[in-house]
Structure 1
Amino acid sequence: MRVAPVPFDPALNAVLGALPRSEGPEPCVQSIPAMRDGAAAIPTPSVAEVIDARAIDAEERTIPGPSGAPDLLITVLRPRHLKAPVPGLYNMHGGGMISGHRHHDIPRLADLVEELGVVALSVEYRLAPEHPDPAPVEDCYAGLRWLSRSAAELGVDPRRIVVMGGSAGGGLAAGVALMARDRKGPFVAGQLLLCPMLDDSNTTVSSHQYDGSGTWQRSMNVLAWQALLGHTAGDPMANVSLYAAPARASDLSNLPPAFVEAGSAELFRDEDVQYASRIWAAGGQAELHIWQGAFHGFDIFAPEHEVTHAALAARLSWLRRVLDL
């Protein structure tokens, strides 16, 4: 399928042009370790540097993983002058479920802790292909269970927990919300899904429009799903878990309110629109934002752009409403 892509916003296109370009053969499962090494070599601020002089306390914890699996690492951010109980934000990082680290989202979470006075947690989950489905989503669900059980200790109101994440983390947050519904808990007050990775089929129009352009391209998306699901990725007849690929869920009823966001110029656009539409069709609550001319992860790469300011304001507004702040 050859489809002309939606153009990038001119200012965002300039940001894209300044980003490093990866040259080389088509990505494959064997190249994932090298990709991770390359990403790890890019300097990123430490947790302490992000917090700096802000009135936020950070703590690294080791918590139980799923039954029979290793323990998990989790980073906890709390307002220094905590007036408990407060809402909790439970975050899953991006990276296509093949890369990334829990500390990558600390800047986003620290801003939310400072602005809203909430407690935020970011979990380290196992990555594919070394740990394919169901390891990533089961790790994330185990972390949510721990948060709910430990709410009093953490100063969190267990009835005001939002699961959240961007890209793969958004897909995992959607999967965890489905798990919590089907397993009768823990209670989830909302799901903040930022350009979530939901659909292993790669059959939408937008999944074809960004084959070779943007920050997350079709070839990488196909690879990531293959790493997670193996030969079943993209097979409509395969028994793929709805928790791994939430777009496969036949029933989207009785889910917590969702905030769904994507750029108009990214490959996840159509699957994210469809997910929100199907929540509405099932009688649920969803708030959908498609940002004009924005590429995948625009808020990270272009923090001062007007569309980023608008997106951050929309997220804050939704969080205040769903958490009664």
Structure 2
Amino acid sequence: MDGQPHPDFSLLARYVPSLPMSDAWLKVYRFLIPSPQVPLESTSSAVSIELVKDPGLTGNPSILSCVARPKKRDNEPIPTRRPAIMWIHGGGMVLENHNMDLPKMKVWVEELGVVSILIGYRLAPEHKALAAVDDTFAGRQWIVHHAVEELGLDIDRLVVAGNSAGGSVAATTMQRIHDTPLLVQPILQLLVYPMLDNRTVLQSDDSVKARIWSPKANRYGWTSYLGCKPGSTNDDDDDIPPYSVAARRTDVTGLPPLWIGVGTLDMF
């Protein structure tokens, strides 16, 4: 596989390189990424942006997240409760924050009339599994507690969604919600090129000329998150914590409908 881009790609996209991934490069990327403390400016007069902190699970730190929702216009009647998207950002388990996906969420909010809650989570390698799932599960609890009065949500129309590593965390968080008694279940899982299975990087051949996220970067992300290299003696179903690798779950009975979108060449 030579990783040649689709003919519909622009000329510039044909020359996007693979990102080198290492502890040193990780520091560089994090330095360049905008801080989650400062939300990107909204260019839409129809969308409001608000930073929020949910308290996290007992013993864990509070988590900074972001709410994007339609602005109420003057003389507009109180709208019916809106459907909501709980969005979880990507970044290979080690990078990014809610600001990276905020422009896309603004478009969804404006065009679909939904409320989007962009949930933050602690990153690997400093915080290994299950820190990310703990944080997003706590974020879901925060959404439920603030849904009606503060956010104007219809909690019965909640979608759990994410891309790349966020797709992984969304899927495992959904599994945990499903297994927790008495919780209202989301109606849909929406996963965009999700990072669902660490066993996709057992092959050490790096001949695939992938753009941006390479097999080597994929191994780095999973190793950082799980604390063991894919294919090592402690990388089996008995040693991998539940809710850390979505594809290792064997029984998906009762989980909500699932939509997955992938490209032609997908590392996951």
Deviation at 1:28, TM superposition (A): 3.1
Partner SS, residue 199 of structure 2: coil
After superposition, the C-alpha distances for 1:284-324 in whole angstroms (9 at most, x for unaligned) are: xxxxxxxxxxxxxxxxxxxxxxxxxxxxxxxxxxxxxxxxx
Q: Distance in 1 between matches of 2:126 and 2:184?
A: 28
1:143 paired residue number: 139
Partner SS, residue 201 of structure 1: helix
Cα contact 2:219–2:229 (8 A) shared by 1: no
Cα contact 1:198–1:245 (8 A) shared by 2: yes
1:133 matched to 2:129? The reply is yes
Cα contact 1:241–1:248 (8 A) shared by 2: no
Aligned residue type for 1:258: L
Q: Pairwise mapping of residues 198-277 of structure 1 onto structure 2 (< 5 A)?
A: 198-203=196-201, 211-231=208-228, 233-234=230-231, 235-236=235-236, 238-268=238-268
Cα contact 2:88–2:162 (8 A) shared by 1: yes
Q: Distance in 2 between matches of 1:231 and 1:113?
A: 39
1:35 paired residue number: 29
Deviation at 1:36, TM superposition (A): 2.1
1:59 matched to 2:56? The reply is no
Residues 221 and 66 from structure 1, CA distance in 2 versus in 1: closer, same or farther, beyond 3 angstroms? same
After superposition, the C-alpha distances for 1:219-271 in whole angstroms (9 at most, x for unaligned) are: 00000000001126442355213411101111111111111000012212xxx
Cα contact 2:133–2:243 (8 A) shared by 1: yes
Q: Distance in 2 between matches of 1:22 and 1:166?
A: 18
Q: Distance in 1 between matches of 2:206 and 2:79?
A: 48
Residues 181 and 232 from structure 1, CA distance in 2 versus in 1: closer, same or farther, beyond 3 angstroms? farther
2:66 paired residue number: 75
Q: Distance in 1 between matches of 2:145 and 2:260?
A: 27
Cα contact 1:144–1:186 (8 A) shared by 2: no
Partner SS, residue 150 of structure 1: helix
1:162 matched to 2:159? The reply is yes
After the TM superposition, which of the residue ranges 135-144 and 4-13 deviates more from structure 2?
A: 4-13
Match of 2:83 among 81, 87, 90: 87
Q: Normalising by structure 2, what TM-score?
A: 0.86
Q: Normalising by structure 1, what TM-score?
A: 0.72
Q: Which has the higher contact order (CA 8 A, sep 6+)?
A: 2
Q: Distance in 1 between matches of 2:81 and 2:238?
A: 44
Cα contact 2:168–2:246 (8 A) shared by 1: yes
Q: Percent identity?
A: 32
After the TM superposition, which of the residue ranges 224-233 and 118-127 deviates more from structure 2?
A: 224-233
Partner SS, residue 263 of structure 1: coil
Cα contact 1:56–1:78 (8 A) shared by 2: yes
2:185 paired residue number: 187
Gaps of 5+ in 1: 269-325
Cα contact 1:145–1:186 (8 A) shared by 2: no
Q: Distance in 1 between matches of 2:184 and 2:99?
A: 24
Partner SS, residue 198 of structure 2: coil
Root-mean-square deviation (CA, aligned residues, Å) is: 2.6
Gaps of 5+ in 2: 73-77
1:172 paired residue number: 169
Q: Distance in 1 between matches of 2:57 and 2:125?
A: 18
Residues 85 and 211 from structure 1, CA distance in 2 versus in 1: closer, same or farther, beyond 3 angstroms? same
Residues 79 and 217 from structure 1, CA distance in 2 versus in 1: closer, same or farther, beyond 3 angstroms? same
Residues 119 and 216 from structure 1, CA distance in 2 versus in 1: closer, same or farther, beyond 3 angstroms? same
Pick the structure with more helix per residue.
1
Aligned residue type for 2:87: N
